[in-house]
Amino acid sequence: MKRADLLRQDAVAYIHNMGDTIRNALLVLDTDLRVLAANALFYDTFRIEANEIKDQLFAELSNGQWDIPELLALLADVAPKMLTFDDFEVTRDFLQIGNRVMRINARELIGRDSHAALIVLSIDDVTDQKRATQSLIVSELRYRRLFETARDGILILSSKHGKITDANPYMTELLGYSQGELLGKELWEIGLMKDEWASRDAFQLLKEKGYIRYEDLPLESEGANKREVEFVSNLYQEGDNIVIQCNIRDITERKQLEAKLAAAHRRDKKIATDLQRTILFQPNEDAFPGLTVHTVYSTASDEALVGGDFWDTFAFDNGHVALVCGDVMGHGLSSAVFTTELKHILRAYTREHEQPSRILQQMNAYVSQSNRLFLEGVNTEGGDMPVCLSLAIIDQRTGVGAVSVAAMEWPLLIRTNGEAEVLKASGTPLGINMGPKSHFDQVDFQLGVGDTLLMSTDGITEARHGKEFLGDDGLTELAVKHRGAALKSMGQKILNGAIDFAHGELRDDACLVLVRKT
C-alpha cells in the first residue's frame, strides 16, 4: 500500500475514533499541509462538503481564505520540529458564515510508519465569546467612567464586614478625605452614620432587605463642614461576590433653597392673611338698619394663602347698601392685592353711579384697560385675570333693590313662604371686552320682611360627587330648606349641605352673601 494511502487511513481512523467526541472542528493534514480528513463538526461549522476539501492544500481551501502566512509558517514547523502551538486566533470573513473569530491549536500525530507524521488542527469558533468579552470590557470601562465622573458620591463596601473597598473622586471632594483615608473604614467613621451602632444597624437592615434609603441625612465632613445628603444603598451581585453600593447625593443647596422658599411662603402668607382681613371683613348683622347681612366663606385648601373668592358690603348715600360677591382667578398674594384694588375701585364707582349695570360697565372698562396696559408692557402691575362678580344695591328702608351679574351664579330671592325666584341677570366677565359687546343686565326686585337675597360663587353649585354636581337646583333646595333659620345659621347650613353633597370636600373656594329684610 502506498504511503499516502496509509496516511489517509491513519487520518480517517483518527477522525473516526476521536473526531465525533471532540466539540471542536478537526482537520487532519499531512506534512505538505494537504487535507486528509475532517470531522463532521468541521463541515457543519464552515458549511462545506467533504469533496470540496479532499486532497486540497490547506492554504487553498475555500478560495484561499486560510492562506495566512503566520499560520502557515507555524504549521510548517509542527512535523519536522515536533512543535505544537495553541490559541492562534484568526479573524476572517468566511465564505459561508461571515465574519468569525477562530482559535486554532495544532498537534503532531505519528502514523503507523513512525517516520510519517500527521498534523491535527483543532478549530474553535470563539466569536460569541470574544464579543461577550469585548462587551464586558466596554461595560466595565463605561461603568468606571461613570463612577469616576459622577457628581454623586459613590462608595463600594464589602458585604462581609461593611468596610469601604472603593470610593469615587466626588466622595473625596464631598467628605474632604483622600481615597486612601476612606478605604477600610466603616460608614460611621466617615460621618455618614451617627455612631458605630447606627452604622451596624443600617448594615444589618441592608443585608436583610437588600435596599435602604435615607432622605435627609446630616453629614459632618472633615473640617466640621456640615452637609445634608440623600443616602441610598443596595446589594448587588458582582461575579461570585455580593457587594454594597452606596450613592450619596449632596442636597445641601436644595435644602437651603427649600428653607428660603418656606420662609418666603410664610412671609407671603402673613401679608396675604393681613390683606384677607380687609378683603373679607365680616360686617355686624345689624350694621345696616332695616337689613340683616351675613357672609360665609370657605377655601378649597388649607394651603391656599388667600382664596380667589371675595365679598364686600357697604352703605353709601341716600340709605342704600351695596352687596358684592366676586371671584378672581388664582390664589395668593398677587390675587389678594388685585382683589383689594378691585374693592376700592368698585366702592368709588358705586358712589358715582348707583345703578348696578352702569357700575359694572365702568368696572369692565377699568379692568380691561388695566389688563391691556399690563400685556403691552406699559404697566408693571396687573395681569390678564378676568373677574366674575355679582352686585346688588338695596334701599335699606323699602327693600327695593336691583342686581347685575358679570358671569356669576344668578342670585336667588327666597320668600318666607318657600317660593324661590331666580334673578336672571346676564353679563360677561369683567376684563374680557371693552367694546359694545359687553353688556350687563339689571334685574329689579323687592325684598319683603323676612325675605332673603342669596348671592354665591360657583364653589357651591359646582360641589361634586362623582359625575354629579349640586347645581343651581341643589343650591335652591338648600336655601328653601333652611330659610327659617337665623341668617348666620342659614348660610352655614347651605355651605355644610354643599360639603355633605361632595362627601366632605369642595374642589373650589366658596362664598355666600345673604341679606334679609327686617
Q: Is the pLDDT of residue 19 over 60?
A: no
Mean pLDDT along residues 97-104:
93
74-88, 225-239, 312-326: range with highest mean pLDDT: 312-326
All domains in the chain, ordered by first residue: 3-128 (3.30.450.20), 150-250 (3.30.450.20), 280-517 (3.60.40.10)
Residue 348 — pLDDT band, cuts 50, 70, 90? very high
Whether the pLDDT of residue 305 is over 70: the answer is no
Instruction: Mention every residue, 6+ apart, whose C-beta is less than 8 A from residue 5.
Output: none
Long-range CB contacts (within 8 A, 24+) of 236-245 = 241/159, 242/159, 243/156, 243/157, 243/158, 243/159, 243/165, 244/156, 244/157, 244/158, 244/159, 244/162, 244/206, 245/154, 245/155, 245/156, 245/157
Predicted confidence (pLDDT) per residue in 474-484, tens digit:
999 999 999 99
Burial 117-154 (b: 16+ CB within 10 A, else e): bbbbbbbbbbbeeeeeeeeeeeeeeeeeeebeeeebbb
Lowest-confidence range among 40-44, 140-144, 345-349, 460-464?
140-144
Q: State the average pLDDT for the chain.
A: 85
For 165, 230, 231, 293, 357, the CA distances from 153, given in Å and listed in that order, are 14, 10, 9, 64, 67
Give the model's pLDDT for residue 268: 73
What confidence tier does 511 reach under pLDDT thresholds 50, 70, 90? very high
Inform me whether the pLDDT recorded for 65 exceeds 80: yes
Structure letter (DSSP) for residue 308: S
Q: Which three cell numbers stand for residue 3?
A: 504511503
- Set of cell numbers at residue 273: 392673611
Q: Residue 194, Cβ neighbours under 10 Å: how many? A: 13
pLDDT at position 437 is 62
In sequence order, what are the beta bridge partners of 456? 512
Q: For 35-55, how does the pLDDT look when each residue is reduced to its tens digit (9 = 90+)?
A: 988 988 999 999 999 888 888
Question: In the predicted model, what is the mean pLDDT of residues 246-261?
Answer: 87
For residue range 356-406, list pLDDT tens digits in order: 999 999 999 888 888 888 777 777 665 667 899 999 999 999 999 999 999
Per-residue pLDDT band for 486 (boundaries 50, 70, 90) equals very high
1 pLDDT band, cuts 50/70/90, is very low
Q: Is the pLDDT of residue 122 over 60?
A: yes
Using the predicted structure, report yes or no on whether residue 223 has a pLDDT greater than 60: no
Residue 438 predicted with pLDDT over 50? yes
Instruction: Please compute the mean of the pLDDT values over residues 14-30 and round it to a whole number.
Output: 77
What is the value of pTM for the model shown? 0.53
Neighbouring residues of 137: CB distance < 8 A, sequence distance ≥ 6 = none
Evaluate if residue 225 carries a pLDDT over 80. no
| Mean pLDDT value across residues 253-276 | 79
Specify which of 262-271, 396-405, 500-509 reaches the highest per-range mean pLDDT. 396-405
Local structure of 203: helix, strand or coil: helix
How sure is the predictor about 238, in pLDDT bands with cuts at 50, 70 and 90? confident
Average pLDDT value for residue range 124-142: 84
pLDDT confidence of residue 513: 96
* pLDDT cut 70: percent of the chain above it: 87
The pLDDT of residue 488 is 93
Per the model's pLDDT, the better-predicted residue between 14 and 86 turns out to be: 86
Tell me the pLDDT tens digit for each residue of 88-98.
Answer: 999 989 888 99
| Helix or strand (DSSP H, E) at 134 | helix 127-149
304 has pLDDT over 80:
no
What is residue 154's predicted lDDT score, i.e. its pLDDT? 87
